[in-house]
């Protein structure tokens, strides 16, 4: 049986000998770029999910809630791409912007005075929305995976 002190000493000795594998380091850098400094994360409101809001079953609604802000998103899938129509309530204020993000691209949109925004032509996969409100910390949704239906 290994003594805890000897095990920790062995870890300290070996920590400088093995370099971090390139793919692990690259993945860590990519994940770090996706963070939103000082951002507040809105939680997924599972009870609000409604699949098949259209007759062709190509869209669904998702809700996220945090810090008194609600994100209602209608995600539509078609032709291998994703469109997002959203409502942020209450209205976040004049000059507010929203970033619709995937790991590979970000689309920035102005938020209308009704709190609505639209982003089209996103690739299927991971998606997050960030609301930038003047004078407040940004609020972001948790990352969700949107998969095309078979």
Q: Is 81 inside a domain boundary?
A: yes
* CA dist 80 → 66, 103, 126, 145, 148 (Å): 31, 17, 14, 14, 7
Number of domains composing the chain: 1
CATH number at residue 119: 2.60.40.10
pLDDT > 70 fraction of the chain, expressed in percent and rounded: 84
Rounded CA-CA distance 63/86 in Å is 10
3-class SS letters over 25-44: HHHHHHHHHCCCCCCEEEEE
Q: Is 138 inside a domain boundary?
A: yes
Q: Is 12 inside a domain boundary?
A: no
Predicted local distance difference test score (pLDDT) of residue 103: 87
Q: Is 24 inside a domain boundary?
A: no
Q: Is 22 helix (H, G, I), strand (E, B) or coil?
A: helix
Q: How confident is the model at residue 51 (pLDDT cuts 50, 70, 90)?
A: very low
Q: Is 125 inside a domain boundary?
A: yes
Q: Is 3 inside a domain boundary?
A: no
Return mean pLDDT, the chain: 83
Predicted local distance difference test score (pLDDT) of residue 101: 93
Q: Is 5 inside a domain boundary?
A: no
Q: What is the reported pTM? A: 0.75
Window from 35-39, 68-72, 109-113 with minimum mean pLDDT: 35-39
Domain limits at 96? 40-146
Q: Is the pLDDT of residue 78 over 80?
A: yes
Q: Is 130 inside a domain boundary?
A: yes
Q: Which of 78, 86, 100, 83 is nearest to 149 (CA)?
A: 78
């Amino acid at each position: 049986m290994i003594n805890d002190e000897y095990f920790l000493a062995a870890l300290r000795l070996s920590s400088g000998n093995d370099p971090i594998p390139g793919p692990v380091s690259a993945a860590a850098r990519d994940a770090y770029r996706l963070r939103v400094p000082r951002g507040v994360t809105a939680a997924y409101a599972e009870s609000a999910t409604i699949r098949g809001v259209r007759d062709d079953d190509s869209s669904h609604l998702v809700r996220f809630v945090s810090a008194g802000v609600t994100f209602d998103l209608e995600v539509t899938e078609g032709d291998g791409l994703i469109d997002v129509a959203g409502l942020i309530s209450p209205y976040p204020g004049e000059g507010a912007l929203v970033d619709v993000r995937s790991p590979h691209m970000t689309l920035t949109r102005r938020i209308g005075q009704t709190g609505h925004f639209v982003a089209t032509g996103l690739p299927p996969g991971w998606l997050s929305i960030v609301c930038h409100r003047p004078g407040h910390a940004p609020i972001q949704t948790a990352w969700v995976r949107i998969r095309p239906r078979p």
